[in-house]
Amino acid sequence: MRESMEFDVVIVGAGPAGLATAIRLKQLDADLNVCVLEKGSEVGAHILSGAVLEPRALNELLPDWQALGAPLNTPVTQDRVYLLKEGEIGKQIPHGLLPRSLKNDGNYVISLGNLCRWLGQQAEQLGVDVFPGFAVAEVLYHEDGSVKGVATGDMGVSAKGQQLATYTEGMELHATYTVFSEGCRGHLGKQLIDKFDLAQGCDAQHYAIGIKELWQIDPEKHEPGLVLHGSGWPLEEASGGFFLYHGDNHQVAVGLIVDLNYQNPWLSPYEEFQRMKHHPLFKQYLDGAERISYGARAITKGGWNALPSMTMPGALIIGCDAGTLNVAKIKGTHTAMKSGMLAAEAIHSVRAEPASKLEQTFADLFDQSWLKEELFGSRNFAPAMHKFGSFWGGAYNFIEQNLLGGKSPFTLHDDTPDYAQMQTIDQFTKIRYPKPDGKLSFDRLSSVFLSNTNHEEDQPCHLVLADESIPTGSNLSDYAEPAQRYCPAGVYEIVEGDEGPKFVINAQNCVHCKTCDIKDPAQNITWVTPEGTGGPNYPNM
Amino acid sequence: MKILVGVKRVIDYNVKVRVKSDNSDVDLSNTKMAINPFCEIAVEEAIRLKEAGIADEVIAVSVGSNASQEQLRTALALGADRAILVETEGVVEPLNVAKALAQIMAQESPDLVILGKQSIDSDNNQVGQMLAALTQRPQGTFASKVSIADGSVSVTREIDGGLRTVKLTMPAIVTTDLRLNEPRFAKLPDIMKAKKKPLDTTTFEQLGVTPKQHIQLDKVEAPAARQGGIKVSSVDELIEKLKDEAKVI
Ligand SMILES: Cc1cc2nc3c(=O)[nH]c(=O)nc-3n(C[C@H](O)[C@H](O)[C@H](O)COP(=O)(O)OP(=O)(O)OC[C@H]3O[C@@H](n4cnc5c(N)ncnc54)[C@H](O)[C@@H]3O)c2cc1C
Ligand code: SF4
What is this model's ipTM? 0.86
CB A131 within 8 A of CB A38: yes
CB B4 within 8 A of CB B59: yes
Q: Is pLDDT of A122 > 80?
A: yes
Q: Is pLDDT of A199 > 60?
A: yes
Three-state secondary structure readout of A427-447: HCCCCCCCCCCCCCCCCHHHH
Residue A168: pLDDT band with limits 50, 70, 90:
very high
Residue in chain B nearest A127 by alpha carbon: B195
Average pLDDT of the residues in B58-69: 97
What integer best gives the mean pLDDT of chain A? 93
User: Which atom of ligand 2 is the closest one to the Cα of A513?
Assistant: 8
CA of A43 to the centre of ligand 2 (A): 20
Average pLDDT of the residues in A270-286: 97
Nearest ligand to the CA of A300 is 1
Cβ atoms within 10 Å, residue A151: 19
Written as one letter, the residue type at A477 is S
Q: Is pLDDT of A396 > 60?
A: no
C-alpha span between A449 and A208 (Å, rounded): 23
C-alpha span between A320 and A295 (Å, rounded): 18
Are B189 and A171 within 8 A, CB to CB?
A: yes
Q: Which of B29, B32, B189 sits opposite A5 (nearest CB)?
A: B189
Q: Is pLDDT of B242 > 60?
A: yes
* Residue A300, SS3 per DSSP: strand
Q: Is the CB of A483 within 6 Å of ligand 2?
A: no
Return the minimum-mean-pLDDT range out of A30-44, A383-397, A438-452, B135-149: A383-397
- pLDDT at position A298 is 98
Residue B190: pLDDT band with limits 50, 70, 90:
very high
Written as one letter, the residue type at B153 is V
Q: What percent of chain A has pLDDT over 90?
A: 84
Q: Between residues A352 and A524, which one has the greater pLDDT?
A: A524
Residue A402: pLDDT band with limits 50, 70, 90:
low
pLDDT tens per residue, range B159-174: 998 999 999 999 999 9
CA of A525 to the centre of ligand 2 (A): 10
Q: Is pLDDT of A386 > 70?
A: no
b/e per residue, A454-468, with b = 16+ CB within 10 A?
Answer: bbbeebbebbebeee
pLDDT tens per residue, range B101-125: 999 999 999 999 999 999 999 999 9
Could you tell me the fold of the domain covering B2-244? Rossmann fold (3.40.50)
Q: Which residues of A are catalytic?
A: 49, 297, 333, 487, 510, 513, 516
Q: Which of A41, A249, A450 sits opposite B32 (nearest CB)?
A: A41
Concatenated DSSP letters of B190-237: HHHHHTTS-EEEE-HHHHT-------------PPPPPPPP---SSHHH
C-alpha span between A5 and A344 (Å, rounded): 21
- pLDDT at position A110 is 97
pLDDT tens per residue, range A143-163: 999 999 999 999 999 999 999
Residue A85: pLDDT band with limits 50, 70, 90:
confident
Task: Measure B183 CA to nearest chain A CA, in Å.
Answer: 7
Q: Is pLDDT of B90 > 80?
A: no
- pLDDT at position A393 is 55
C-alpha span between A517 and A539 (Å, rounded): 25
- pLDDT at position A380 is 77
CB A315 within 8 A of CB A186: no
Instruction: Report the Cα B129 to chain-centroid distance in Å.
Output: 12
- The residue whose CB lies within 8 Å of the most ligand 1 atoms, and thus the one to mutate among A49, A138, A258, A451, is A49
- pLDDT at position B245 is 83
Give domain limits for chain B. 2-244
Average pLDDT of the residues in A87-93: 75
Pairing of strands B172-176, B139-149: parallel
E strand or H helix that includes residue A211: strand A207-216
CB B108 within 8 A of CB B28: no
Three-state secondary structure readout of A46-80: CCCCCCEECCHHHHHHCCCCCCCCCCCCEECCEEE
- pLDDT at position A84 is 87
pTM, rounded to two decimals:
0.93
CB A459 within 8 A of CB A530: yes
Cβ atoms within 10 Å, residue B166: 17
Q: Is pLDDT of A124 > 60?
A: yes
Size of interface A-B (CB pairs under 8 A): 62
Q: Which stretches of chain A sit within 8 Å of chain B by CB?
A: 3, 5, 41-42, 44-45, 111, 113-114, 117, 129, 131, 134, 152, 155-156, 165-166, 168, 171, 173, 216, 249-250, 290, 292, 438, 449-450, 452-454, 537, 539-540
pLDDT tens per residue, range A512-521: 999 999 999 9
Residues of B in contact with A44 (CB under 8 A): 30
- pLDDT at position A36 is 98
Q: Between residues A7 and A394, which one has the greater pLDDT?
A: A7
- pLDDT at position B53 is 96
Q: Is the CB of A310 within 6 Å of ligand 1?
A: no
CA of A486 to the centre of ligand 2 (A): 8
pLDDT tens per residue, range B34-57: 999 999 999 999 999 999 999 999
CB A363 within 8 A of CB A342: no
Task: Name the nearest CA neighbour of A377 among A353, A357, A401, A344.
Answer: A401
Return the minimum-mean-pLDDT range out of A90-94, A245-249, A528-532, B210-214: A90-94
- pLDDT at position B21 is 83
- pLDDT at position B225 is 76
Q: Is pLDDT of A371 > 60?
A: yes
Written as one letter, the residue type at A74 is T
- pLDDT at position A57 is 98
E strand or H helix that includes residue A179: strand A172-180
CA of A319 to the centre of ligand 2 (A): 21
Task: Measure B2 CA to nearest chain A CA, in Å.
Answer: 25
Task: Measure B229 CA to nearest chain A CA, in Å.
Answer: 14
Q: Is pLDDT of A531 > 90?
A: yes
Q: Between residues A96 and A319, which one has the greater pLDDT?
A: A319
Q: Between residues B129 and A356, which one has the greater pLDDT?
A: B129
Q: What percent of chain B has pLDDT over 70?
A: 100
- pLDDT at position A410 is 63
E strand or H helix that includes residue B162: strand B162-169
Q: Is pLDDT of A403 > 70?
A: no
Task: Measure A340 CA to nearest chain B CA, in Å.
Answer: 24
Residue in chain A nearest B183 by alpha carbon: A166
**Cβ partners under 8 Å of residue B206, min gap 6:** none
C-alpha span between B40 and A85 (Å, rounded): 55
- pLDDT at position A91 is 72
Average pLDDT of the residues in A457-462: 95
Q: Between residues A393 and A167, which one has the greater pLDDT?
A: A167
Task: Name the nearest CA neighbour of A47 among A541, A454, A428, A483.
Answer: A541
Average pLDDT of the residues in B233-244: 88
CB A331 within 8 A of CB A337: no
Pairing of strands A172-180, A147-152: antiparallel
